[in-house]
Structure 1
Amino acid sequence: MATPNVGILTTAGKALIDKVNSGQAKISFSKIVFSSMDNSQLSDMQVKALTAIAPQEVVVSSPETTLDTNSGETRIRATGTNEKLADGVYVKTYGVFAKDDTGSEILYGVTVSPNPNYFPAYDGVTPQAVTYSYKTVIQETSNITMTNSNDVYASQEDLTEALQPYAKTVDVNQQLDKKVNIADMRKPASDVAGIEEVNTKQDKIGYTPADDSKVIHSTLTELVSTDMNTVKIAGFYLLRSGTNGIPNGDDHTIYQVIPFYSSNGVQLAYGTNNAISGMRSWNSYNRFTSWVQFANDSAVAHLSGANNFDTVPTVNNNPLLLASSLPSDLARTGSNQEFTGKNTFDTAPIDKTTGNPYITKDGVPSIPSDVARTSQPTNFTAGLQTSGFDVLGVKAFSDTDDYKTFAAAHPSVITIVTHNTSTN
C-alpha cells in the first residue's frame, strides 16, 4: 500500500532532477491535477512507475513555485476549486507535472490520499477550494523556473504560519487536506482582514475544522457511469447507469457506504420505487462479496417453536392440507391394508400381470355339493366312466377272507383275481 499523504517522486521525475543538477536541463512545473484515481492499493514502487494520472477532474496550470532559502526546498503549490465541476468528486490522488526546457512534460510527483477530500458539484453561488503543496529538493536552483502567484485564496499553510505558535505545524511533505470557503475572499482589499487583525483575534479561535472525508454527508451524491466497486467513501449516493450496483436496482436506489478504516467496509442499498434492498461488503484485498437481498418480511413464512408456521402455508393462495386433516383410514399403497368397510369399483379390477379383469362374486357359478376335489380321496358312489365305459377299479386284498367279504358286499362288481406268488 502506498505511503499516504507523502509526495512520492516518480522515476521520470528523478531522472529529470538528475539532468537539472548536472546542468543538462532546466525545469518548470507546468500543472497540478486533482484526480479521483484510486492508487491506495499500489506500493510506493508502483506509484513511482506511474507516468499518467486519469481522470483529471481539476487542473491548475502554472502552479506557484517558490524557494525556501532556509531549507533549500522548492515548494510547488496550487489551489483547486470546484467551479468547473458539474458532479461531485472525491480527490484521491494529486499529481505534479513538470517540463524540461524542450517543453517535454512528465509526471513528476504523486501524493496518494487515504482520506479523500470531497469536491461537491458547483452550486453557482459558493465555490469551494482545496490547496495542495508539494515540496522537493533540487540542488541547482538556478535551473528552476520560479513563479509568482496572484491567487487570493488563503491556504491552510498561510493560516498556520499566521497563527504560530498556536497552530499545529504541518509536515513539509504532507498534503493539506483542508477546505477553504472562498465566498467572502473576493472582496476589495479594504474589506479583507489583514494578518495583524488575525493575530489580535487568534486567542478567540478555539475550534478544529472537521475532516470532510470522515464526515457522513446527509446529501445524496449522484454517480454517473460509476463502478460501485470504486465507491468506498462514507456517504449516500445515487447510481446512474453505473456497474456493480444491486441487481434489479434502478436510478432511484439509494446507496449508503460505511468504510472500516480504508481496507474494509459495507455498502447498503435501499429501493425507493420498489422493495429492492440489500447489502454487500469488501475487504482489504479489494474483493467485494455478492449482493445479498433483504427478505420482504410480509412475504416470509414465520416459524414459531419447533418449526411451526404461524399460519397454514398456501400455494397459489390455496392452503396446504395438514397431516392432521387426513382421514384415519386412508390407504397406503406401499403397505398391506385391511379394508373393513364396503369397497365398490365402477369396473372390475384388472390383473396387472395378465391384463385380465377379475370376475365378481355374482359372476362365479354356484358349485354343487358333490363336486369332486382332486386333492383328496373321492368316492364316486354313482360309478365312474370314461368315454361311456365304466372305469375298472383295482383293489388289493390281503387274504382270501378279505376278498370274500368285499365280493359279498359288492356282488355287481366284476372282479379279476390275480395271484402274486413270491418265492423265497
Structure 2
Amino acid sequence: MADYTNMYMTKKGRKLQAKAESGVLLKFTKVSIGDGQNNGQNIDDLTALISPKKDLGISGIQVEIDQCKIHSSIDNEGLTEGFYVWEVGLFAEDPDEGEILFGIIFAKEADFLPANGGTTGVNAEFEIIVIVGNAKEITAVISNTGYVSREEFNKLVIRLDATSQRAEKNTDDISKISLKLTNLEQSFSNNFTNNQFTEDFYTLDDVIVSRGVYDSVNKRLVM
C-alpha cells in the first residue's frame, strides 16, 4: 500500500473524543476510501470524504492503553471503475449526531485500485492507529464479510490446536471410564464370584475379617 500521513481528526471527531473521555462509548463503524486529494481544504469541517468511492468493513479492533488499532482490508470486489486511493476515512457513532467522520488520512503517493473482473484481484490488509486518550470504553462494528487477518488466523489456529488436544484427552479419559464401568457391570452380573479385577480374594493373602463373614468356598465377603 501507499505511504500515508498521520490521521487528521475532524471537529466532530474531537468532540466525540471528549465525550469518550467522559465515559461515552467510542464506537467505530466503518472505513471508507476515495480519490479526493488534500488541496488545502478545511479538514476540521469535513463530514465525509472529499470524493468517496467505496466503504470497507472493520475486521477487528485492538485496544492498547491510550491507543487502538482498527483492522480493515482494501479489495476491489464490486468495483466497476478503478481509482487512485488518495484518502481513507474512519467513521464513528456519535450518540447525539449519529455516524460521523471521525478522522481522515491522505496518501503521499496513491496506489491505483483496479476495477473488479480484470486480471488483477486485490486484497490488502491494513490498520489505522488511533490515539484514544482516556476513553473509558471503545468498540467497533465488526464486519461479517471480508478476510481474516494473518494475526487473527494464527490466534485461531492456536485455539483450535488447544481444543483438539483437550478433545483427544477427553476421548482417552472416556475410554478408560468406559472400561472400568464394563468391569463393574461384569462383576455385578455374576455376583462378584468371577471378579474381573486384578486383585481379589483368590490372590490376597492373610485376609483378616474385621466385620462380616468370609465365604471361603466362593471366595467372597458376606456382610
Amino acid at match of 2:32: V
Q: Secondary structure at the match of 2:52?
A: coil
User: TM-score if structure 1 supplies the norm length?
Assistant: 0.32
Q: CA deviation at 1:62?
A: 4.0
CA offset digits 1:355-398 (Å, max 9, x no partner): xxxxxxxxxxxxxxxxxxxxxxxxxxxxxxxxxxxxxxxxxxxx
Is this contact kept in 2: 1:77–1:133, CA < 8 A? yes
User: TM-score if structure 2 supplies the norm length?
Assistant: 0.57
- C-alpha distance in structure 2 between counterparts of 1:142 and 1:125, whole Å: 46
Partner of 1:49: 45
Q: How many aligned residue pairs are there?
A: 150
Higher helix share: 2
Q: CA deviation at 1:97?
A: 0.6
Is this contact kept in 1: 2:70–2:127, CA < 8 A? yes
Q: Does 1:152 align with 2:151?
A: no
Structure of larger gyration radius: 1
Q: 2:85 aligns with which of 78, 91, 109?
A: 91
Amino acid at match of 1:22: S
Q: Does 1:137 align with 2:147?
A: no
* Alpha-carbon RMSD: 2.9
Runs of 4+ aligned structure 1 residues displaced above 4 Å come to 146-151
Partner of 1:66: 62
Higher strand share: 2
Structure 1: segments with no counterpart, 5+ residues: 163-188, 190-424
Is this contact kept in 1: 2:92–2:102, CA < 8 A? yes
Is this contact kept in 2: 1:79–1:153, CA < 8 A? no
Structure 2: segments with no counterpart, 5+ residues: 158-223
Partner of 2:117: 123
Distance 1:61 1:15, change over 3 A: same
Identity in percent? 23
Partner of 2:29: 30
Q: Secondary structure at the match of 1:57?
A: strand
- Structure ranking higher on relative contact order (CA contacts 8 Å, 6+ apart): 2
Q: Secondary structure at the match of 1:78?
A: strand
- C-alpha distance in structure 2 between counterparts of 1:149 and 1:84, whole Å: 16
Distance 1:129 1:123, change over 3 A: same
- C-alpha distance in structure 1 between counterparts of 2:46 and 2:141, whole Å: 26
Distance 1:133 1:142, change over 3 A: same
Partner of 1:378: none
- C-alpha distance in structure 2 between counterparts of 1:38 and 1:29, whole Å: 23
Is this contact kept in 1: 2:21–2:136, CA < 8 A? no
